[in-house]
Chain A
């Protein structure tokens, strides 16, 4: 352990890997398709040479990024995502080569909600979105019952903390 802190322990669902693979495959296929159409147009309609050059570079980059985000990233993210929620803080951690810890006090939590896309629905997973006054954070791919429980729990903790801090301020 690099930092002398208490690290979060809860993991996200194993199915996250499949969900991310499918959605990244779809996304990258669409991007490559659009670029391919543009390349065909460029060849047929005699656009400027540099447009073709840029298009080929973009195509190459998209291809490399699709290999990363379909085969490597999902497993890597799923293996390294950790979170923990107690009555004081939401703590999140992700990454290994580049590790990132985030800490959000419950009293700063403004809203919490769950969301689900069509692919996630197939696997019965939800994203939990935690909104603070500063920004919003997503804990991805939580199984349905767990997600509902966490949402309710965060809402309760946030509410209690808000009242306490309001009293403290006066």
Chain B
């Protein structure tokens, strides 16, 4: 075998097997424990199929480990995979936008980790994952990513530490975690847990009756109710704190000249890093509660940030940081992204224009109610009221500013989102104006940023002068 081509660490088999057992234990219990006495045909067949599926899966895991290989050749990474159908994927190192490394409990037992390299492309093959590799191997891959050259054969831990001067900007303390656990309402997590426990128990035992008896008892001895309530409160705060510190404990934000690093988690350790010039945009998000407490969460939008909650959180700076501190860190790491606090609303005529738009939802509601439930026709008035309210709120909380190469828009009533990006990061723009908009001297501005899925920003009611200027600005005529 070629020396450069490597397999994953053998623990890959263990990790895969564990996740397979976790997935199939339900079937196993059902077929062999719950239905142990059954001789029904489908149970017997089910057992045979289950055993065969187990054998096939275990074999395929072994073969997968044997056939999955990768190689770092020059400035690209090559992955060979497939048992019967061979596939070979190659990615140039400079096409990789960001990387995520995730160390679960199982990884930790073996002193291993996982690594995903994400490219900016769309489709199934956008991510290169190394599910189980050693820490040293991960560093070797990362090092070759950074230098873009042939990897150094053997790297000592000491050298890795020295290779770049990272500045740490933020490290979460106990105080931060306490704050976070209250702001995120994680102490409410006890209620779903309790209900789940209750219903699971109720299935096996007849606790319904005893629960009623207990309730009667408690109602008579009300002081016990208070004690229980306090106990529950303490317990829920405790659970909330543990959950939050698992997730946000050890939060470290650091950077060097090239990259930004975000690391977090106790137990399940995640680290994320992105090259600075591959940040597509910055999003500042504030819920009502965070606004009251003066906190803000800042997200770095990268070409391969997928829309789901998990990866958005991965790429966000500590979400419970005081706003000015968050801005400061952002400013030191990405000096090009300056967030302007004072933004102006559109002129009032835009509100009138918005209110003049046809009320499609209301019309549909009226038609639907007339046909199906005429006596509920009054509900249409509520729908109408709500749509007027949402238009007013929409107008009130939308603002836009453009200075230098930066565009900044702010949107949203309850959760307020500020989006900042640069001209070079905008993929395309569209300016639209309808007959009605022309009467009001405004236009709609749409621009797109790379992300997964695409991030599209639409502004209704930009003045026609600004729309024209924006168009020329993007075209670099100005």
8 A Cβ contacts from B418-439 to A: 427-435, 438
Q: Check B464 for interface membership: any CB of A closer than 8 A.
A: yes
Asked whether B468 is an interface residue with its Cβ less than 8 Å from the other chain, the reply is: yes
The distance in angstroms between the C-alpha atoms of A89 and B429, with both chains bound, is 11
Contact A134 B464 (CB under 8 A): no
A5 touches B428 (CB 8 A): no
Asked if B277 contacts A169 (CB within 8 A), the reply is yes
Residues on the A chain within 8 Å of B474, using CB: 103
* Known A-B contacts A133-B450, A135-B454; A103 and B475 likewise in contact (beta carbons under 8 Å): yes
Query: What are 9 A-B contacts defined by CB distance under 8 Å?
Result: A6-B472, A88-B476, A98-B435, A99-B433, A103-B474, A104-B428, A133-B303, A135-B428, A135-B448
> Quick one: given A103-B475, A133-B450, A135-B454, are A2 and B433 in contact (CB under 8 Å)?
yes
* A133 in contact with B438 (CB, 8 Å): no
Q: How many A residues have CB within 8 A of the partner chain?
A: 23
Asked whether any CB of chain A lies closer than 8 Å to the CB of B413, the reply is: no
Mark contacts of A1-41 with chain B using CB atoms, 8 A cut-off: 1 yes-contact digit, 0 otherwise: 01111100000000000000000000000000000000000
A166 to B443, CA, bound (A): 34
In angstroms, Cα B275 to Cα A169, docked, is: 11
Given A3-B468, A103-B474, A134:B434 Cβ within 8 A: no
- Please, how many angstroms separate the alpha-carbon atoms of A101 and B433 in the complex? 9
Q: Mark A69-102, 1 if CB is under 8 A from B, else 0.
A: 0000000000000000000110000000111111
Closest-by-CB residue of B relative to A102 is B430
With A133-B450, A135-B454 known as contacts, the answer to whether A98 contacts B428 (CB < 8 A) is no
Please encode chain A, from 123 to 151, with 1 for each CB lying within 8 Å of some chain B CB and 0 for all others.
Answer: 00000000011110000000000000000
| Chain B, range 459-476, C-beta contacts under 8 Å to A | 464-465, 467-469, 471-472, 474-476
Partner of A98, one of B94, B432, B472, B477: B432
A103 touches B471 (CB 8 A): yes
Interchain CB contact (< 8 A) of A3 among B303, B443, B450: B443
CB distance from A97 to the nearest CB of B (A): 5
Residues in chain B near residue A101, CB distance under 8 A: 430-432, 471
Q: Is the CB of B427 within 8 A of A133?
A: yes
CA gap between A99 and B120 in the complex, in Å: 32
Query: B428 near A132 (CB under 8 angstroms)?
Result: yes
B429, A102: Cβ atoms closer than 8 Å: yes
Residues in A neighbouring B475, C-beta threshold 8 A: 5-6, 88-89, 103
Q: Give the residues in chain B near A169, CB-CB below 8 Å.
A: 277
Nearest chain B CB to A103 CB, angstrom units: 5
> In the complex, what residues of B have CB within 8 A of residue A99's CB?
432-434
Closest residue on chain A to residue B303 by CB atoms = A133
Selected from A2, A4, A102, A132, the residue in CB contact (under 8 A) with B438 is A2
Chain A positions within 8 Å of B430 at CB level: 100-103
The minimal Cβ–Cβ distance linking A152 to chain B, given in whole angstroms, is 22
A117 cross-chain contacts in B, Cβ below 8 A: none
For the complex, is A105 an interface residue (Cβ under 8 Å from B)?
yes
Shortest Cβ distance from B368 into chain A, in angstroms? 12
Cα A132 to Cα B122 with chains together (Å): 11
Beyond A88-B476, A97-B434, A97-B435, is A3–B464 a contact (Cβ under 8 Å)? yes
Given A3-B431, A133-B427, 5 new contacts (CB under 8 A):
A3-B443, A6-B477, A88-B475, A133-B450, A134-B454
Chain A neighbourhood of B472, CB < 8 A: 4-6
Q: A residues within 8 A CB of B277? A: 169
Q: In the complex, which residues of chain A have a beta carbon less than 8 angstroms from the beta carbon of B467?
A: 3
B428/A3 in contact, CB under 8 A: no
- The winner among B428, B443, B467 for most chain A CB atoms within 10 A is B428
When distances are taken between beta carbons in the complex, the residues of chain B under 8 Å from A103 are 428-430, 471, 474-475
Complex contacts, B433 vs chain A, CB 8 Å:
2-3, 98-99
Pick the residue among B94, B428, B431, B438 that contacts A134 (CB under 8 A).
B428
Inter-subunit contact B432/A133 (CB<8 Å): no
